[in-house]
A and B are shown apart, each in its own frame.
Chain A
Amino acid sequence: MLTGLLIILPLVASLLVFLAKGSAARTLALAASVAEFALSLFVYFQFKANPAAANLALNCTWVESMGIKFSVGLDGIGLLMVLLTAFLVPLIILSSFQNNYEKLNSFYGLILLMQMALVGVFAANDGFLFYVFWELALIPIYFICLLWGGENRAAITFKFFVYTLFGSLFMLIGLIYLYNHTGLESGIKSWAINDLYAAGKNLNLDQQSAVFWMIFLAFAIKMPVFPLHTWQPDTYVTAPTQGTMLLSGIMLKMGTFGVIKWLLPVAPLALEKWGGTAILLSSIGIVYASCIAIVQKDYKRLIAYSSIAHVGLISAGILSANQQGVQGAVIQMLSHGVNVVGLFLIADILLRHTGTREIEKLGGIRNMNGQFAVLFLIILLGSVALPLTNGFIGEFLLINGVYQYSAGMAAFAGLSVILGAVYMLRSYQKIMLGEKTTGGVEFGSLAMSDKVTLIIVCVVIIAFGVYPKPLNDLAEPAVKTLLSTLK
């Protein structure tokens, strides 16, 4: 029930926002998203008090004849993802206060629509519903990028759209294939997630492998995993900052979340056979992207590549399919979501205050605004996974998980620890430190909304770095049950 509310609320809100005029839309959107966050918190406490009692699930028939149900519900992982979404969207909206876009109402309406779809993806317990939300999430972001994006956006966003759609069509085939194998004894086919799990387990190795790759393709493109990543940097750079935040902060998690909930349990045999390959790809992606990030000129692009590296580690951890790996992945998904939003906001602030994101052109900003420098530094440390920042918990667990799969792979993936430090510090030094003031431009002080956003991000980074227990308490049992289904 509550989950249903979580999905409905943004939908209704978005419709209202579409109707609203001018900056009223902005405030309305902020209010709605905050309300959503409050609701999600309420759900969280319900869940915490007693997972069983909390009435989260919602089951209504949608297409009886095809066994499609509108069934949503939350386990620990899903709840975490929903919390992330509900937490980030207000920040994202807040972060947009300084950009003066046209057609505010459609902008925020689309963002809220997106939120609806995202929550749906994280909550869906019905394969078909999952796919529908999955595709649904694509459309608002496409328009956000198309309408408010940077130069050459038409081609780039289109590439992004087709690329992802292409992948998800294969996922659809995979899911339908599973669906066709459901209800062997009962004779009644169904899209219910558990039935799909069961169907998947009954397949032989070859069938499972086929399903595995078809579904993994979609997720791999979404994340993205090397070598399917080339749409990502361009899209991130071209999209409006808020779009980038949505893409990298939340949408990217759809892929990883999908692997956890919709791939691991359906193809255990295939995972044993092909998991290594997938992990290898992910690990290659880590080092590859990190290396590329070192030589980036545009700071936003640098972050984009670093995000590829991070997500590579996450997917490697998930595919190693052990408690530490998967749980680490979940934690890291949250941390990465928060940090990357912070980083992109910083990129946006740089652009707004100095008119450029070119690392070479910037410099000496520390002299002009120490506060900004400190906040920047904290977020940066979070993303290089310094202990006592949220980034570290996840990264440690992840490398731990990968290590249990293969020590060599872990060592290889671990290189990101070093390379991450290299490119992050290098860029920080070039942008913030040194004597040179940015082309004589006075950087000035931060706008209130930016400041608030950054501070919130920093607080979260440190708070969950020091005391990640709440997250772990949610993730641990959920992951454990999930992995137990693999056996």
Chain B
Amino acid sequence: MKGLLIVSGLGILAMLAEIFKFKKLLFPLVLLGLVGAYVANFIEWDHSYVIGVFNNMIAFDKVALAFSGVILATAFFWFIMANDYFDNEKTIVDHYSLVLFALTGALMLTAFKNMTTLFLGIEIMSIPLYVLAASKKKDVKSNEAGFKYLIMGSFASGFLLFGIALIYGATGSFDLMDIRAKISSYESGSVPVFLNAGIIMMLVAMCFKVSAAPFHFWAPDVYQGSPTVITALMSTVVKTAAFAAILRLFMIAFGGVSESWSMVLSVIIALSLVIANFSAAVQPNVKRMLAFSSISHAAFMLMVVLANIRSNASLDALLYYSLAYSIGSIAAFSIIYTVTKGGDETFDAFNGLGKRNPLMAACMVVAMLSLAGIPITAGFFAKYFVFTTMIGTGYKWLLILAILTSAVGVYYYFKVIIAMFFKSSSETETITVEMPQKMVMILTTILSLALGAAPGFVAEIFKF
């Protein structure tokens, strides 16, 4: 809870900076605040409320804290990486506050206990992102990205709301616990049909947020058009939050009626795996490639939701996966950000990077290996956890499909590596990296190796 308050407070503080002229201090302040929020999480950990506050509107239980921990950590790195995105004197404050507000929304999504908070969380997270996506005002691509994101986002929230409404109609409540109780109170058969309809619609809406096929269309365009750092934010923080939300929603509210949505979900996963990997394989543009890859990763995480939502194992899996994926992406994006400053976002931008900046190339290799899921990077264990959760279930075909497609996945991740070490580029002067980005690269690389070396801790987190 305190974490949430601190972050939203930071947002407001950022706006005050405009008035009281301490913009320079903002950067350190924000980092400090994030650390503070993190600490707050730790303090709350032991005596974390399982029952929510504010009439059970929101509850920072262990799961919530864990996920918000992931989000805060990612955000921490993100701010360091993106620090020179906030250089423009005029807009610095707005950017800071918007990002922080988005973070607030994300944190809400990890902890909501009520449809209202879910809905508000999603919107609070999305609306600033619509703006940020469009924040390169002179750049038509950026505008278009923001616009598309906005239109499709609100269209999706339309369905979300319709679903909520139906569920409210069926259960007479917005409270997840009540809904769950009500659902379980129905003896089978007498469940009003439009309850399921509502669940499906919410599922659809959430799948849109995590950009699973066939609701993924916005992702590539928006990822490409937005400023790289914002793309990074979307593919890490937003995704993690969305998954925390899905986990919560389906674990608490709809866990009881999984048969009504698991079939649909399996199809969605299969579609996402195929479409994402296949179109990523032929992408010349790195950011788009990563967009598709994020879709396939979403599919992997959804598999956990599908496999067994109620077990600790799947909690571990999802948490670890989002952590590994976020760190990997941050590393990748920080490098892409540096490399593509020239403007060229195709793979050729990486040609000869192995010579031009070995350190960066090495980090990129680790990041790519991690995203591709090769030992002993974090990404490997992430996939490993997914497999372990999946293997018991009846979705063998999905497992096989996942393997086949992840073999395809290796292809496009290695295209980067090949470009870096194999292709030679026209310009040969070394690329210089600013200190902050360098720090992020190194730290994230080390982290993804460390997580890979010692993945045991996640299992220790949830013991209830």
Direct contact between A and B judged by beta carbons closer than 8 A: yes
User: Is A173 a contact of B369 with CB atoms below 8 Å?
Assistant: no
User: Is B407 a contact of A146 with CB atoms below 8 Å?
Assistant: no
Is A165 part of the binding interface, using a Cβ–Cβ cutoff of 8 Å?
yes
20 further A-B contacts with Cβ under 8 Å, apart from A136-B375, A180-B388, are: A62-B456, A63-B456, A64-B456, A65-B459, A66-B455, A66-B456, A66-B459, A68-B456, A135-B375, A146-B417, A158-B418, A161-B414, A162-B410, A165-B374, A165-B410, A166-B404, A169-B403, A176-B388, A179-B388, A180-B392
Is A132 part of the binding interface, using a Cβ–Cβ cutoff of 8 Å?
yes
Please provide the chain A residues from 83 to 106 with a CB less than 8 Å away from any CB of chain B in the complex. Answer: none
Please report the C-alpha to C-alpha distance between residue A154 and residue B411 in the assembled complex, in whole angstroms: 11
How near does chain A come to B293, taking the closest CB pair, in angstroms?
16
Is A274 part of the binding interface, using a Cβ–Cβ cutoff of 8 Å?
no
Is A177 part of the binding interface, using a Cβ–Cβ cutoff of 8 Å?
yes
Chain B: interface residue total (CB-CB under 8 A): 27
Please provide the chain B residues from 211 to 245 with a CB less than 8 Å away from any CB of chain A in the complex. Answer: none
How near does chain B come to A198, taking the closest CB pair, in angstroms?
18
How near does chain A come to B121, taking the closest CB pair, in angstroms?
31
Chain B residues with Cβ below 8 Å from A146 are 417-418, 421-422
Given A63-B455, A63-B456, A132 and B418 contact (CB-CB distance below 8 Å): no
Is A428 part of the binding interface, using a Cβ–Cβ cutoff of 8 Å?
no
User: Is B421 a contact of A143 with CB atoms below 8 Å?
Assistant: yes
In the complex, which of the residues A64, A154, A176, A180 contacts B418, with contact meaning CB atoms closer than 8 Å? A154
Q: Mark A162-189, 1 if CB is under 8 A from B, else 0.
A: 1001100110110011011000000000
Is B454 part of the binding interface, using a Cβ–Cβ cutoff of 8 Å?
yes
Chain A residues with Cβ below 8 Å from B417 are 146
User: Is B391 a contact of A180 with CB atoms below 8 Å?
Assistant: yes
Please report the C-alpha to C-alpha distance between residue A68 and residue B384 in the assembled complex, in whole angstroms: 13
Given A139-B369, A173-B391, A161 and B455 contact (CB-CB distance below 8 Å): no
Please report the C-alpha to C-alpha distance between residue A372 and residue B384 in the assembled complex, in whole angstroms: 51
How near does chain A come to B398, taking the closest CB pair, in angstroms?
12
Please report the C-alpha to C-alpha distance between residue A138 and residue B375 in the assembled complex, in whole angstroms: 10
User: Is B407 a contact of A173 with CB atoms below 8 Å?
Assistant: no
Chain A residues with Cβ below 8 Å from B455 are 63, 66
Please provide the chain B residues from 390 to 420 with a CB less than 8 Å away from any CB of chain A in the complex. Answer: 391-392, 399, 403-404, 406-407, 410-411, 414, 417-418
User: Is A170 a contact of B403 with CB atoms below 8 Å?
Assistant: yes
**Pairs A–B under 8 Å by Cβ, sample size 12:** A62-B454, A63-B455, A132-B375, A143-B421, A146-B417, A146-B418, A162-B407, A166-B403, A166-B404, A170-B403, A173-B387, A180-B388
Please report the C-alpha to C-alpha distance between residue A177 and residue B392 in the assembled complex, in whole angstroms: 8
User: Is A153 a contact of B422 with CB atoms below 8 Å?
Assistant: yes
Chain B residues with Cβ below 8 Å from A131 are 375
How near does chain B come to A330, taking the closest CB pair, in angstroms?
27
Ranked nearest first, the 9 interchain pairs of A and B with the lowest CB-CB distance are A65-B459, A63-B456, A166-B407, A135-B375, A132-B375, A169-B403, A154-B422, A154-B418, A65-B456
Is B31 part of the binding interface, using a Cβ–Cβ cutoff of 8 Å?
no
Please report the C-alpha to C-alpha distance between residue A389 and residue B4 in the assembled complex, in whole angstroms: 75
> Which of B369, B407, B459 has the most chain A CB atoms inside 10 A of its CB?
B407
Is A486 part of the binding interface, using a Cβ–Cβ cutoff of 8 Å?
no
Is B376 part of the binding interface, using a Cβ–Cβ cutoff of 8 Å?
yes
Majority secondary structure, A binding face: helix
Is B460 part of the binding interface, using a Cβ–Cβ cutoff of 8 Å?
yes
In the complex, which of the residues B391, B411, B459 contacts A176, with contact meaning CB atoms closer than 8 Å? B391
How near does chain A come to B2, taking the closest CB pair, in angstroms?
29
In the complex, which of the residues A63, A143, A166 contacts B454, with contact meaning CB atoms closer than 8 Å? A63
Is A373 part of the binding interface, using a Cβ–Cβ cutoff of 8 Å?
no
User: Is B414 a contact of A158 with CB atoms below 8 Å?
Assistant: yes
Chain A: interface residue total (CB-CB under 8 A): 30
User: Is A176 a contact of B387 with CB atoms below 8 Å?
Assistant: yes
Is A147 part of the binding interface, using a Cβ–Cβ cutoff of 8 Å?
yes
Chain B residues with Cβ below 8 Å from A179 are 388
User: Is B421 a contact of A169 with CB atoms below 8 Å?
Assistant: no
How near does chain B come to A213, taking the closest CB pair, in angstroms?
12
Please report the C-alpha to C-alpha distance between residue A66 and residue B459 in the assembled complex, in whole angstroms: 8
Chain A residues with Cβ below 8 Å from B376 are 132, 136
User: Is B387 a contact of A65 with CB atoms below 8 Å?
Assistant: no
Chain B residues with Cβ below 8 Å from A161 are 410, 414
Please report the C-alpha to C-alpha distance between residue A143 and residue B384 in the assembled complex, in whole angstroms: 24
How near does chain B come to A345, taking the closest CB pair, in angstroms?
26
Please report the C-alpha to C-alpha distance between residue A173 and residue B407 in the assembled complex, in whole angstroms: 14
User: Is A169 a contact of B375 with CB atoms below 8 Å?
Assistant: no
How near does chain A come to B67, taking the closest CB pair, in angstroms?
19
Please provide the chain B residues from 345 to 389 with a CB less than 8 Å away from any CB of chain A in the complex. Answer: 369, 374-376, 380, 384, 387-388
Chain A residues with Cβ below 8 Å from B421 are 143, 146-147
Please report the C-alpha to C-alpha distance between residue A62 and residue B380 in the assembled complex, in whole angstroms: 16
Please provide the chain A residues from 280 to 331 with a CB less than 8 Å away from any CB of chain B in the complex. Answer: none
How near does chain A come to B464, taking the closest CB pair, in angstroms?
15
Q: Mark B423-461, 1 if CB is under 8 A from A, else 0.
A: 000000000000000000000000000000011100110
User: Is B407 a contact of A169 with CB atoms below 8 Å?
Assistant: yes
How near does chain A come to B415, taking the closest CB pair, in angstroms?
9
User: Is A177 a contact of B391 with CB atoms below 8 Å?
Assistant: yes
Please provide the chain A residues from 380 to 435 with a CB less than 8 Å away from any CB of chain B in the complex. Answer: none
User: Is A172 a contact of B387 with CB atoms below 8 Å?
Assistant: yes
User: Is A139 a contact of B374 with CB atoms below 8 Å?
Assistant: yes
Chain A residues with Cβ below 8 Å from B459 are 63, 65-66
Chain A residues with Cβ below 8 Å from B404 are 166
How near does chain A come to B110, taking the closest CB pair, in angstroms?
23
Please provide the chain A residues from 176 to 207 with a CB less than 8 Å away from any CB of chain B in the complex. Answer: 176-177, 179-180
User: Is A173 a contact of B456 with CB atoms below 8 Å?
Assistant: no
Chain A residues with Cβ below 8 Å from B422 are 146-147, 153-154
Chain A residues with Cβ below 8 Å from B418 are 146, 154, 158
Given A65-B456, A158-B418, A135 and B374 contact (CB-CB distance below 8 Å): yes
Given A135-B375, A169-B407, A65 and B460 contact (CB-CB distance below 8 Å): yes
Chain A residues with Cβ below 8 Å from B387 are 172-173, 176
How near does chain B come to A228, taking the closest CB pair, in angstroms?
14
User: Residue of B at shortest CB range from A163?
Assistant: B407
User: Is A173 a contact of B403 with CB atoms below 8 Å?
Assistant: yes
Please report the C-alpha to C-alpha distance between residue A470 and residue B421 in the assembled complex, in whole angstroms: 45
Please report the C-alpha to C-alpha distance between residue A379 and residue B213 in the assembled complex, in whole angstroms: 58
